[in-house]
Amino acid sequence: MKKGGLGSRLLVAAWGIPLLLGLTWLGGWWTALLIGCISTMALIEYYSMQKELGRAPTKWIGIITGLAIIFVWKIDITKFDIIYFHWVLIVACLILMVFMMMRGRSHLDFSSTLSGLIYIPLLAGSFIAVRDWNTGSIENEGRWLAYGIWGAIWICDTAAYFGGKALGKHKLAPTISPNKTVEGFLFGFAGSVIFSLAWWKVGLIELDVSIILAIAAGLFGQVGDLAESALKREAKVKDSSALLPGHGGILDRFDSLLFTAPVVAMYLVVRPEVLYYL
């Protein structure tokens, strides 16, 4: 358990979860505001860890570009090719960083700036696209799928923790996260599958989407957790920050989202073709 104890964890959850679910429920720019705040704070934590590695990312360029990326995720994708527009922002960021490098900054500083943009706002912003998704087959399907992402991640984390604690014997990645076990990973995946199928069974999402949701949270979400653990181990820090007592930092709490939401969003893009061939 992280520093702060059970009481601190429950206190943070008492205000954090309603805020998270409330802004997700409202959708639109409210959800974009939520993801923008999460991305900005997580990006600041990421850059702080990069400093522990001896790099000096250009934080202000990263934050401004990151917010622009979140904005692009929200704008009407019928007016812009959203994927290309994201890369236009990143290329513009690169050009600006090259000019600054000509003034004596290290290329390693800029690579760490750019990696943060790809790792956090570019991936996290896909949650906005999921929340805005609507085909008309299910009422408010984007809202329920967004809630499904939160639920699948939380159930996966909970099942992995208790399953690993009770039955865990075989280390999953001892050099990255010594406490994680294969058994815990399997329990987490099973929890994600059960939750996602239940979400489909009550009519909130369709079967194929529930299967992708289970894979995204149960497999990719746990990989995202390991990726952040590897980053912290390299930077020799226990948590990404101490912002959330008992929980660590924003990046600690939302590392699974960074790998879960893009998988779901990518499936929604190709889904019409998938259903056509099925």
Compute the distance between CA of residue 113 and CA of residue 46 in angstroms, rounded to an integer.
9
Query: How many angstroms separate the CA atoms of 186 and 256, rounded?
Result: 16
For residue 87, the model assigns a pLDDT of 67
- Residue 265 class from Cβ within 10 Å (0-12 exposed, 13-18 middle, 19+ buried)? buried
Can you give the pLDDT of all 278 residues of the chain as single tens digits? 444 555 677 788 888 899 999 999 999 999 999 999 999 999 999 999 999 998 888 888 889 989 988 988 888 544 445 555 666 666 777 776 676 667 667 778 888 888 999 899 999 999 999 999 988 788 899 999 999 999 999 999 999 999 999 998 999 998 888 889 999 999 999 999 999 999 999 999 999 999 999 999 999 999 999 999 999 999 999 899 888 877 789 999 999 999 999 999 999 989 888 887 87
Print burial letters for 229-243: b (CB count within 10 Å at least 16), e (below 16). bebbeeeebebbbeb
Contact 136, 130 (CB under 8 A): no
What whole-number distance in Å separates Cα of residue 53 and Cα of residue 32? 31
Query: What is the per-residue pLDDT for 80?
Result: 46
3-state secondary structure 139-157: CCHHHHHHHHHHHHHHHHH
Question: What is the model's pTM?
Answer: 0.90
Give the CA count within 13 Å in the CB-facing half-sphere of 218. 21
Helix or strand run (H / E) with residue 172: strand 171-173
pLDDT the model gives residue 91: 73
Q: DSSP string spanning 76-137?
A: -TTTS-HHHHHHHHHHHHHHHHHHHHTTT--HHHHHHHHHHHHHTHHHHTHHHHHHT---SS
**For 214, how many CA atoms within 13 A lie in the half-sphere containing its CB?**
21
What pLDDT shows up at residue 216?
A: 98
Q: What pLDDT sits at residue 81? A: 53
- The SS3 assignment for 173 reads strand
